[in-house]
Amino acid sequence: MPRTVLVIGSINADLVVTLDRLPEAGETVTGGRFARHGGGKGANQAVAAARAGARVRFAGAVGDDDFGAAAIEQLTAEGVDVGAIARLDGEATGVALIAVDREGRNQIAVASGANARVDGALVARALEAAALAPGDVVLLGFEVPDAAVVAGARAAAEAGARAILNPAPARDLPDGLLGHGVLLTPNGLEAAALTGETEPAAAARVLARRTSRPVVVTAGADGAVLADGDRMVEIAAPEVEVVDTTGAGDAFNGVLAAGLAAGRGVEEAARRAVEAASASVRRAGARG
């Protein structure tokens, strides 16, 4: 039976404007179409994992506003266990302002809101309820503070579970993280920021040596590169008509976590994740 995926991450309301082209600095572009979607990298990943068949729990926080209530409803409707999502009095739910052009490229500005309050204590309570076991997967991201990321990785290592960290948006890896056997899944830009290497394969090799664990660097339409020990595997992405690239990386990470929780090897899980990410860009919104 598939094990549990515990996502420790962010929840946002995505406010999306689709335009013919993205604005330059200081420029207003009119004629767009507006839509509101559930978002936040953590929540998007949880939905992707649930749709891929995983049993998913979520640990995070929202505000005491309508956006927060809607976010919890949306996750519940997707079959995600929301029992460890805190509703914080006097706090706003995270919001992402997203502009998307006709080529599917995007610009994103985020107000973190309640996500910035996801701390080690909140994660500890969620972990106690989750009762992690070998074979479970803890999926982490950088839209919540370092303390939450490290607490999740440490708990996974202690339980014999697997930890995945999607280091997005890019920042330095927290002190003490790498000792917990984390599988990293940066995109090309994030991998370059972490290593100084601009080629995904070179960056993956550096990170795999640093972590002593497999590393997957995603490369958009070019698929992904897996570094696993001395082995390098290039995973091609199918050609698709792009509508909106928002959330493609989240789809990848959620499906990767679901695959590992189902007992698949890293390469097989990564191949399925690349296919899922490619399918996700054919639809508008971070969750399709």
> pTM of the predicted model, to two decimals?
0.93
Cα distances (Å, whole numbers) of residue 152 to 194, 195, 243: 21, 23, 34
**pLDDT tens for residues 41-66?**
999 999 999 999 999 999 999 999 99
Average pLDDT over residues 165-170: 95
Instruction: Report how far residue 169's alpha carbon sits from residue 248's, in angstroms, rounded to the nearest whole number.
Output: 14
Cα distances (Å, whole numbers) of residue 113 to 38, 45, 76: 15, 19, 21
Compute the CA torsion angle 214, 218, 224, 230 (nearest 10 deg): -30
> What pLDDT is attached to residue 242?
87
Per the listing, tokens 């890896």 go with 173
**pLDDT tens for residues 219-231?**
999 999 999 988 9
| Cβ count near 105 (within 10 Å) | 14
Instruction: Please name the amino acid found at residue 205.
Output: R
Full set of structural domains in the chain with CATH: 4-12+39-93+115-280 (3.40.1190.20)
State the helix-helix crossing angle for 266-280 and 248-261, rounded to 10 degrees: 150
At CA 200, angle to CA 199 and CA 205, rounded to 5? Answer: 100
Catalytic site positions: 250
